[in-house]
């Protein structure tokens, strides 16, 4: 008889060990286990897909809904440090022990009557979290798509409002080689007769076409809603509705206004089911928090954390770093997956970086620190090696950060970016508060 795990870590190991061989990429298996679980949501569901901006969008949706007095449930992935970060109920990360019963329920359903259904790690864990959320008496469920949309495990739930954030090249081996192919996959979360908020100002035509094909209610940034702003405040408007004099979202970065605009469009689109006040919008946007999204940690030197891990998000990070003003030296801790388009990422941010600290990461998918250094050297050669930029290799993100702190002056800046593993690796003991070693000298 099979012994069932008794801890969350045990269940996660169990999910990893399943390793389904030759598994089809459809959702029929996941839907079958969901049917056995009788999985359903009685509250409105908002599903968020896109290449970048999904996590920020989910956090803003949650913050405004909480300020409006609603009981929220949020599912996001991946996590930075602990698996249970993937699920928040009423603004709080769920307890690991609360997840165990739902992993057990998924396993029982998966094996029901000896008719075993194969699930991947992501599918298994998604079903467990969705079941927890469905039992939590929510007023609104917010689901972040893991990869793509059409074939993502979250897509077994019919959304009441879809949001598609920016679309760029990422996971090309699964989603396709260009924005049109990738857009078609993201568009799979749309539903006939239900609103879809398209936040990308230059959305692929495939997204627009799919919305029209299936008869979704299309809301496009720049067409159906827009924002304007100055240095002090910003405004959002669509026909017949306007929010004026809004404080900037507490999530930093120029791209966050586009994300915030999509959030306000979503609340407007489902206003009859989930009304929010202007005050809830103001307070929610002012109070929203999300670790690792252009997160600036006060200290000396200044520390910036960002999970930018594809060319589009690294371009946004570069613009945001440039807008921070002058720092004598910028140190960069960087680790990334081997399948990412690394050369354009390094080339884009390279002019702002004075010293690199390349790090290994604890997953076979990662590029080695030495491999990252080789790619950086190649980028330097193409650029003509116009300035001296040092680099070093480190066993893990924390060791890389410690080396950067040891080399930095108090007025410098340290940027930790790349994979979730990179940023998570420096947050493992909490948010670091830096104090340069010779500050008091």
In DSSP notation, 254-291 reads TTHHHHHHHHHHHHHHTTTTS---HHHHHHHHHH---T
Q: Would you state the pLDDT for residue 2?
A: 64
Query: What is the Cα–Cα distance from 140 to 425, expressed in whole angstroms?
Result: 32
Q: Strand, coil or helix: what is 6?
A: coil
Q: Strand, coil or helix: what is 240?
A: coil
User: Which own/partner contact pairs does 222-227 have at CB distance under 8 Å and 24+ positions apart?
Assistant: 224/265, 225/261, 225/264, 225/265, 225/268, 226/261, 227/257, 227/258, 227/260, 227/261
Calculate mean pLDDT across residues 183-194.
Answer: 95
In sequence order, which residues have a C-beta less than 8 Å from that of residue 36 and are 6 or more positions away?
109, 110, 112
Q: What is the pLDDT of residues 369-392, one digit of tens each?
A: 999 999 999 998 887 766 789 999
Q: Would you state the pLDDT for residue 174?
A: 60
Q: Would you state the pLDDT for residue 439?
A: 47
Q: 């029982």: which residue's tokens? A: 108
Q: 């980028």: which residue's tokens? A: 379
Q: What is the pLDDT of residues 344-378, one digit of tens each?
A: 999 999 999 999 999 999 999 999 999 999 999 99
In sequence order, which residues have a C-beta less than 8 Å from that of residue 182 and are 6 or more positions away?
51, 148, 167, 168, 169, 170, 171, 172, 175, 176, 204
Q: Would you state the pLDDT for residue 252?
A: 83
Tell me the pLDDT band of 1, cut-offs 50, 70 and 90: very low
Question: Taking a C-beta distance cutoff of 8 angstroms, is the pair 45, 158 a contact?
Answer: yes
What percentage of residues in the chain have a pLDDT greater than 90?
A: 81
Structure tokens at 3: 């012994």
Give pTM, 2 decimals: 0.93
Query: What is the Cα–Cα distance from 424 to 426, expressed in whole angstroms?
Result: 5
Q: Would you state the pLDDT for residue 141?
A: 98
Highest mean pLDDT among 10-24, 239-253, 301-315, 384-398: 301-315
User: Whole-number mean pLDDT of the chain?
Assistant: 92
Sign of the C-alpha dihedral, residues 143, 79, 5, 94? negative
Query: What is the Cα–Cα distance from 135 to 131, expressed in whole angstroms?
Result: 6
Calculate mean pLDDT across residues 190-204.
Answer: 95
């Amino acid at each position: 008889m099979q012994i069932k795990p008794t801890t969350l870590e045990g269940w996660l190991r169990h999910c990893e060990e399943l390793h389904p061989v030759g598994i089809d990429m459809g959702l029929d298996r996941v839907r079958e286990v969901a049917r056995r679980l009788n999985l359903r949501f009685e509250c409105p569901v908002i599903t968020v897909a896109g290449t970048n901006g999904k996590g920020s969008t989910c956090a803003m949706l949650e913050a405004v809904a909480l300020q409006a007095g609603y009981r929220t449930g949020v599912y996001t992935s991946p996590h930075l440090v602990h698996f249970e970060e993937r699920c928040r109920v009423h603004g709080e990360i769920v307890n690991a022990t609360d997840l165990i019963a739902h992993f057990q329920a998924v396993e029982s359903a998966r094996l029901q009557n000896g008719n075993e259904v194969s699930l991947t790690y992501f599918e298994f864990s998604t079903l467990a979290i969705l079941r927890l959320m469905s039992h939590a008496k929510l007023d609104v469920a917010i689901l972040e798509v893991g990869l793509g949309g059409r074939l993502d495990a979250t897509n077994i739930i019919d959304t009441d409002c879809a949001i598609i954030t920016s679309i760029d090249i990422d996971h090309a081996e699964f989603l396709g080689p260009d924005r049109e192919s990738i857009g078609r996959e993201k568009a799979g979360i749309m539903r006939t007769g239900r609103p879809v908020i398209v936040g990308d100002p230059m959305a692929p035509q495939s997204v627009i076409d799919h919305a029209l094909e299936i008869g979704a209610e299309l809301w496009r940034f720049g067409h159906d809603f827009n924002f304007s702003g100055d240095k002090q405040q910003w405004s959002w408007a669509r026909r017949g509705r306007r929010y004026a004099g809004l404080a900037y979202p507490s999530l930093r970065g120029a791209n966050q206004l586009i994300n915030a605009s999509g959030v306000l469009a979503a609340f407007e689109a489902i206003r009859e089911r989930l009304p929010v006040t202007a005050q809830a919008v103001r307070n929610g946007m002012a109070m929203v928090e999300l670790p690792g999204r252009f997160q600036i940690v006060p200290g000396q030197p200044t520390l910036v954390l960002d999970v930018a891990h594809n060319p589009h998000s690294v371009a946004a990070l570069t613009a945001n770093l440039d807008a921070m003003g002058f720092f004598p030296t910028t140190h960069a801790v960087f680790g990334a997956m081997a399948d990412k388009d690394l050369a354009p990422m390094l080339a884009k941010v390279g002019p702002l970086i004075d010293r690199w600290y390349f790090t290994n990461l604890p997953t076979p998918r990662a590029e080695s620190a030495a491999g990252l250094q080789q790619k950086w050297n190649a980028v330097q050669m193409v650029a003509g090696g116009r300035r001296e930029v040092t680099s070093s290799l480190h066993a893990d993100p924390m060791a890389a950060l410690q080396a950067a702190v040891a080399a930095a002056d108090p007025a410098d800046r340290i940027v930790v970016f790349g994979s979730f593993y990179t940023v998570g690796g420096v947050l493992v003991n909490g948010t670091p508060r830096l104090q340069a070693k010779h500050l008091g000298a």
